[in-house]
Amino acid sequence: MSNSSFVDRDLLRARFSDAMSQMYRREVPQYGTLLELVADTNRAVLAADPALAQRLRASGDLERLSGERHGAIRVGTPEELRDIRRLFAVMGMTAVGYYDLSPAGVPVHSTAFRAVHEDALRASPFRVFTSLLRLELVEDTALRELAAELLAKRRIFTDRALALIDQCEQAGGLTEAEGEEFIAEALHTFRWHAQATVTAAQYKALHDQHRLVADVVAFKGPHINHLTPRTLDIDAVQRDMPARGISPKAVIEGPPRRACPVLLRQTSFKALQEQVAFVDQPDAPGAHTARFGEIEQRGVALTPKGRQTYDTLLAAVRAEFGGTPDEDSAQRYYALLDKHFQALPDDEAGLRAQGLAYFTYHVIDAGRAGQARDIEALVANGAVGFTPIVYEDFLPVSAAGIFQSNLGEGARNDHLASSNQAQFHGDLGAEVLDELALYAQTQERSIARCLSALGIDSAAA
């Protein structure tokens, strides 16, 4: 079978993302309200800032904006993680980055499955933040053994989904019809199941250990626990959520509001209380709280030097603030962010000049190239322009803040910090990619294209 008969993996990913969004909208109607708010906000921002709209259109980011989202799931065993990796690979998604959330008292470590090349990201930037439960951090031996027993019994994939994954791996792709069948079968893995797999007493024990442990162990599969649209003004969304009947978390996670956004800012509406039935009480419904809606605003990806600066500034904010910000202290927290982050240039030229952020380069006036033979000289004489590279990944502190705000009061926060990337790689069956290396490669490819277009030998540049 020729490759031309296979459905494009980027197209398959885009279709799956849309199908997942439709499913989650049916399961969590408030997510639909959130999508409408984000769409309205983005339209208002673009109408008020034609230059931004033009830049997004020129870079191809405008088209991807309306369909952009990320999801999050939590799996319970290495076997589940390995098969999730295989499932996402069918759609051209690779594990990128390692995130240890144990220092924040969340007993998981994670990666993000996403496309890695800029062309694939432009076609569909869908990402899934995937966390693996770390049973070794469950302190109660009997409870740890119960969780392992329950997880060993469940099967989170349909037989047909696994067969299609096998077929894709062997043949090198799926046909159009097989791709549609794959999407339908894969969605079953991420559906919500109101029927728990545990007794009420077992649920309480798991819940008392950590709400996230109960969310992973007590159900048939890794239900999608949130989907996240991308906004151009997260502060406006945060402000306007209550008017739409949505209760936002207290504080936007990540860097402060800036003229030149960097990395990632996130907020969410508080997790919903959903009715569940336990195996010993089918007619006396209980409740489970885990699923929520999230919003993100993405800025430019920072270089290692930029990330070090960001981490230092954020640590200074948290040290001066002390504790965790809430509704009453949110404004003080934002003020401290603004104060400390003045040390980070708030314009693209400044970030680029100091080597703090990644950019792609494009020819804007070949006639100005003159005798210039390197990218810096070409930018200086106006022959080449630059555009920020969108940050496609996540921030451990922000992820932990989102998790904690949706685990409710009483969530345990006494797990020992225990980063173990080697263990994660073994459980995954592969090594995660270095996200910073991917941004650097994108930047270098754009430079090579510019030099080639201008007839400059890149080896001599």
State residue 398's pLDDT score.
55
Please name which of 136, 76, 109 lies closest in space to residue 394, comparing C-alpha atoms: 109
* CATH 3.40.50.2020 at 3-299+392-419, yes or no: no
Q: pLDDT of 99-111, one tens digit each?
A: 998 887 888 999 9
| Contact yes or no for 86/161 (Cβ under 8 A) | no
Task: Name the token pair of 347.
Answer: 């314009």
The residues spanned by each domain of the chain are 3-299+392-419, 302-345
Q: pLDDT of 319-353, one tens digit each?
A: 898 878 888 888 999 999 999 999 999 999 999 99
State residue 291's pLDDT score.
79
| Contact yes or no for 295/38 (Cβ under 8 A) | yes
**From the centroid of its chain, how far is CA 179?**
24
pLDDT exceeds 90 at position 60: no
For 40, residues 6+ apart whose C-beta sits below 8 A from its C-beta are: none
Torsion over CA: 408, 414, 415, 417 (sign): positive
- Provide the pairing of β-strand 69-75 with 127-133: parallel
Query: Mean pLDDT over residues 173-185, rounded?
Result: 96
pLDDT exceeds 90 at position 85: yes
pLDDT exceeds 90 at position 403: no
> pLDDT class for 418, splitting at 50, 70, 90?
low
> pLDDT class for 412, splitting at 50, 70, 90?
very low
| Contact yes or no for 179/196 (Cβ under 8 A) | no
Between 399 and 173, the higher pLDDT residue: 173
Buried b (16+ CB within 10 A) or exposed e, 106-138: bbbbbbbbbbbebebbbbbbbbbbbbbbbbebb
State residue 405's pLDDT score.
47
Of the ranges 250-259, 340-349, 416-425, which one carries the lowest mean pLDDT score? Answer: 416-425
- Enter the pTM of the model: 0.90
| Contact yes or no for 362/334 (Cβ under 8 A) | no
State residue 409's pLDDT score.
42
Query: Mean pLDDT over residues 397-412, rounded?
Result: 48
Q: pLDDT of 6-33, one tens digit each?
A: 999 999 999 999 999 999 989 888 888 8
Task: Name the token pair of 429.
Answer: 């069956």
State residue 411's pLDDT score.
42
Q: Which residues pair with 99 in a beta bridge?
A: 110
State residue 410's pLDDT score.
41
